[in-house]
Amino acid sequence: MDTNKYRLNQYIAKAGITSRRKADLLIESGKIKINGVVVRELGVKVTSNDTVEYAGKQIKIEKYKYLILNKPKGYITTVKDEKNRKTVIDLVRKSCDERLFPVGRLDKNTTGVLLFTNDGDLSQKLTHPKNKIEKVYHVVLDKKIKDLDYKTIQKGFFLDDGQINVDEIKIAHNTEKKEILITLHSGRNRIVRRIFEFFGYKVVKLDRVIFAGISKKKIFRGKWRFLTNREIGFLKMK
């Protein structure tokens, strides 16, 4: 039996609820009970013998799991949807007993790399803007990109919410300048689509091929696999 003592925020994070930082907010707002009593004090320690509750349900420490999904078009990135639309959770639900949640978001019509875990701390690390996690996208446009637009994106320009700097942009071979590979660190909402829409292009297809160094290579669309120990270690070192 596990008799180790855990700080309450650590226990909540290990139960796959959220990161330790956000767990502190849950504690301070009185949303956590220990053995039936609401606890607001940070730093309290618990063991697996204690009954810890969140939202009226007992939570327990889970083994961390990490997987990658090659997201297909038509699925929304959320754990549940009130409108009963297809969610990415539907695709990974049977992967393990632990409750997984997506790391960051891809919009409904964007495909490609989407990570899942119950490790709240790692998830926050990979999505926090200050950590500048690299993403690589394959973009298919409705028409050829003009040389001037290409060079402007390459050099950097301004959108209504600030400066846009991409790490790299290049035209995919033999695509008549309609297919682009773009690498950037920005986590702004719909940023890749907004970049090309600003210059008058319609994004016909958008596929994230790499996220935080993890590639969807050899994973069929709509399929998933667990990350290797090497990949997990790579993510934790970022």
Burial of 220 (0-12, 13-18, 19+ CB in 10 A): exposed
Which residues neighbour 151 within 8 Å (Cβ) at sequence distance 6 or greater?
Answer: none
Cα 33 from Cα 45, distance rounded (Å): 12
- β-bridge pairing 168-171 and 110-117: unpaired
- β-bridge pairing 179-184 and 162-164: unpaired
Cα 207 from Cα 68, distance rounded (Å): 14
Cα 149 from Cα 92, distance rounded (Å): 39
Q: Are 15 and 99 in contact (CB under 8 A)?
A: no
Of 90, 107, 161, 167, the catalytic one is: 107
Q: What's the sign of the alpha-carbon dihedral 210, 90, 188, 14?
A: negative
Enumerate the H helices of 63-190 as residue ranges: 89-92, 120-127, 147-155
Indicate if 167 belongs to the active site.
no
Active site residues: 107
